Structure 1
Amino acid sequence: MEKEGYIEVTGGRVWVHTYGLQSKGIPLIILHGGPGSSCYSLQVLKALAPDRPVILYDQLGCGRSDRPTDTKLWHIDRFLEELGQIRQALNIDEVHILGHSWGTTLAAAYYLTKPSGVKSIIFSSPCLSAPLWEQDQKKNLQMLPADIQETIKRCEEQGTTDSAEFAAAIEVFSKHFVNRLEDKPEWLEQKPADYRNAEIYQIMWGPSEFTVLGNLREFDCTPQLKELTCPTLYTCGRFDEATPDTTEYYSRLTPGSSFHVFENSAHMPYIEETDEYLTVIGHFLSSVEKL
């Protein structure tokens, strides 16, 4: 059984879809990437619902959620409040959290507010330090053809990151470090273009992946990772923009955490290696519930 609808949060309504309403395990809530993206590509995780409720939601301002025009809403503290309001509305006392990309930023910051009932966290392709992320992307760029590097650098310097040539260069970057599949699933290709909200990304991150100018530019929770005491799993793709070296570094800072690399994936292993991804995540969640 499943249910979808809207929940009132600070600033508007967010769209929430819960799968496996009658499943007996501890609910799993999914925090999508962005900022300003949607949970659309993460819908494959509903396959975990036979064992536990799986909750997908579009953060305020993107996807199927409301699009308020108040730009003061776009900061991490409001997104943390939003997550708490969703838990309260759904009456979720105990919860597993899976964050992907920016969703891991949100997951870590949320746990560090010391909420009750968080049974585990999965950091999927994590971004837990904006400075480290920026540093890694500059290294990743160096693996691309010289003309692609030059285009990205020039467009950033000239403020033309909204140009067609920049978009073409980013497509090359994405084929290396985001999704390496030649033939992407048809349903993924049908994702509505208006599900993204570029304004949120611009305000919180900046005009591009490679230079952080938004209000997350100083975010770095690595000194606090030792405070993560719940069972924790870090995952990434071998070719991920969230690099294996940095992901493993985060794992080493987190007491008792586990670390897994999906060998044939970039930033979207839940799409690129769906079966293995679901197996690894499902096994981790089941092992936590047996503790």
Structure 2
Amino acid sequence: MNAEFNGADGVYFERLNGADLHFEVQGEPGEPPIVFLHGGPGYNSYSFQALFGDRIERQVVFLDQRGSGRSGALEDTEQGADTLDLDTLVADVEALRDFLDVEQIVPLGHGFGALIALEYARRHPTRTSRVITVNPWVHFPDLARTLLEEASARRGAPFTDPADELRAAAPEGQHPAVGGARIEAAFALLNARDLLNALQFRDHASRMHLEFSDAEGQLIGGGEVQEALVNQGLWEFEYPPFLAELRRPVFVIAGAHDRTSYPEQVQWVADLADADVTVLDAGHYPWLDDEDAFAEALGDALNR
């Protein structure tokens, strides 16, 4: 076993891949452990562990990604904040797997974290048992359009997509920043928090449940991570071309009330990665809305 890790439950704060990463290991070793990859970007793993962790029946690692939650600040990493990208986040997961001294893991990615889970599986198929995504985000210009449509509807404003004008004005061979323009227009109409709340939660009770857990965890922030990824072109990123390269089983658990992911984002993964999709009567955080149904769907994805 790795000298720094003996397979035991516990809270760890380790320098991995040039970053100080906080993670907690829970459960008995044996089958490939789950590595939970939270969304945001820039959120944390606390609420998922606190609200659902006890229902997971195998070893699981709750990771706060670099710059997020209880992990060290981006400015304290060897790479710095200006170079944060998907490559770096995937490399962090591989460094974590190596630290755990296991042959394979099961990446479990939620929202933005699904992108990390899928790319890890694509790059490291022999290190991946299977990949499970929950309400994945994979096509960010499309997601920006969804946000702009919702913001326009809620403000009673006509939907105007800046994409056509930008594309018409762009020199031949250049790709305009369509996603960025859409998201800027959306947030000019409605602030990001209210807009995402409107799209992601099945009802008011679910939103309050998560907010109570967040307050209990006393973890705030994430803006540094979001800003760094946006500066790297997050809203222009289209992952679907890479989905067809996946060679490990892919499972999607979707909430029918999460309009940031279902059905458009989920459909990309279903069609191009030949994913097995389970749709629940839930929102972006399905363990809030129907814990038993989510536990059943997760167990099925782990054991099929």
TM-score normalised by the shorter chain: which range applies? 0.7 to 0.9
Name the residue aligned to 2:216: 190
1:1-291 matches, cutoff 5 A: 2-20=9-27, 22-43=28-49, 44-49=51-56, 51-69=57-75, 70-146=80-156, 156=184, 167=191, 170-183=192-205, 184-185=208-209, 186-194=212-220, 196-205=221-230, 214-240=232-258, 241-255=260-274, 257-263=275-281, 265-287=282-304
Shift of 1:23: 4.8
Name the residue aligned to 2:163: none
- 1:235-278 CA distances to partner (integer Å, 9 max, x unpaired)? 221121112233123202123x2111122x22111222222111
Identity %: 21
Alignment check: 8 A CA contact 1:7 1:86 kept: no
- Structure 1-normalised TM-score? 0.81
CA distance in 1: counterparts of 2:227 and 2:23, whole angstroms: 24
Count of residue pairs brought into register by the alignment = 267
Q: Which residue identity is paired with 2:217?
A: K
CA distance in 1: counterparts of 2:112 and 2:237, whole angstroms: 11
**Closer, same or farther: CA 178–41 of 1 in aligned 2, 3 Å:** farther
- 1:99-123 CA distances to partner (integer Å, 9 max, x unpaired)? 0111111112222223423111111
Shift of 1:201: 0.3
Alignment check: 8 A CA contact 2:243 2:273 kept: yes
**Closer, same or farther: CA 58–245 of 1 in aligned 2, 3 Å:** same
Shift of 1:19: 0.7
Alignment check: 8 A CA contact 1:11 1:68 kept: no
CA distance in 1: counterparts of 2:60 and 2:84, whole angstroms: 26
Alignment check: 8 A CA contact 1:45 1:54 kept: no
**Structure with a larger share of its residues in helix:** 2
User: Any stretches of 5+ residues in structure 1 without a counterpart?
Assistant: 206-212
Q: Which residue identity is paired with 1:80?
A: V
- Structure 2-normalised TM-score? 0.78
Q: Which residue identity is paired with 2:298?
A: I
**Closer, same or farther: CA 80–249 of 1 in aligned 2, 3 Å:** closer
CA distance in 1: counterparts of 2:70 and 2:246, whole angstroms: 32
Specify the SS of the correspondent of 1:7: strand
Alignment check: 8 A CA contact 1:98 1:104 kept: yes
